[in-house]
Amino acid sequence: MKEYVVFTDLDGTLVDAETYSYEKALPAIAVLKERNIPIVFCTSKTRAEIEVYRRELEIQDPFIPENGGAIFIPEGYFEFEYDYSRRTDGYNVIELGTRYGKLREVLKKISSSTGCKIVGFGDLTPEEVSESSGLDLESARLAKMREYDEPFEIHGDERCVDLVLEEIERGGFRYTAGGRYYHIMGDNDKGVATRILTELFSRKKDVTTIGLGDSLNDLPMLLEVDLPFLLERPDGSHDPRVSFPRLRRVHGVGPEGWRKVIKELIE
């Protein structure tokens, strides 16, 4: 018998893009937990941010922070040996990304060479991140605790945007666009991390993977799962940049659409 594993984005998917509430998804989360179906957060958020949701929702499964920068697996979660990069705070960590300090250096060099103003989270105070993102102050502080990914804005015209993104790729790095910000990262994305973690889940049982997301940075993850679902944006549209034959478009925004998918699949 196949067993499910759920990979999910947070902002705009499990969590409302405007209010940051997951209340509408709670009935579906309860069903998954009751059936011991793993819920893997696969998000641009930091480990510090994710741990808040894990505590509040009492979810103990592995998670993928900062657009696939690493995989954090609770010690003892898998009953077999596997390779990992380091052990910290009760996790075995499989590191896939480039360290944060290096990414900051790259953006500074690109800003200097192109003459385009780039503002990253590392340039902002928690208060400024809060104002920019709509996060409360404590959440903004956690959002700045980055390890593998830098969210940034490009202050300039389309020429500047094109120049900066071209320079990121020319330097051997990747970028993606989330709901609010661009992100620079190393040679990693949500898809690579999803594939590696799926292989671990599949070692002892036959799994069917479910993926839920809402924007371009979810595309690599959605391409890796068996059942990919794209949720509506707050305006009721689907991100036109996310499209491939197997993709299922859901009529439902954020946690409401999330609950709808899980209910139809599991119940």
Residue 134: the pLDDT is 87
Residue 184: the pLDDT is 96
Phi-psi region of 76 (alpha: psi -120 to 50; beta: other; left: phi over 0): left
The structural domains of the chain, ordered by start, are 3-96+189-266 (3.40.50.1000), 100-185 (3.30.980.20)
Residue 19: Cβ within 10 Å count: 11
- The predicted model scores a pTM of 0.90
Q: Which residues of the chain are modeled with pLDDT < 70? A: 1, 179
Side-chain-side CA neighbours of 119 within 13 Å: the count stands at 11
Side-chain-side CA neighbours of 24 within 13 Å: the count stands at 19
Q: Are 216 and 174 in contact (CB under 8 A)?
A: no
Enter the tokens of residue 158.
């389309």
Enter the tokens of residue 49.
């941010």
Summarised one tens digit per residue, pLDDT across range 49-73 is: 999 999 999 999 999 999 999 999 9
Enter the tokens of residue 150.
């830098």
- Distance, CA of 267 to CA of 28 (rounded, Å): 9
Summarised one tens digit per residue, pLDDT across range 165-205 is: 999 999 999 998 876 899 999 999 999 999 999 999 999 89
Active site members: 9
Residue 152 Cα distances to 20, 52, 109, 171, 178, angstroms: 20, 23, 14, 17, 10
Measuring CA to CA, which residue among 109, 123, 115, 217 is closest to residue 163?
115
Q: How many residues does the chain have?
A: 267
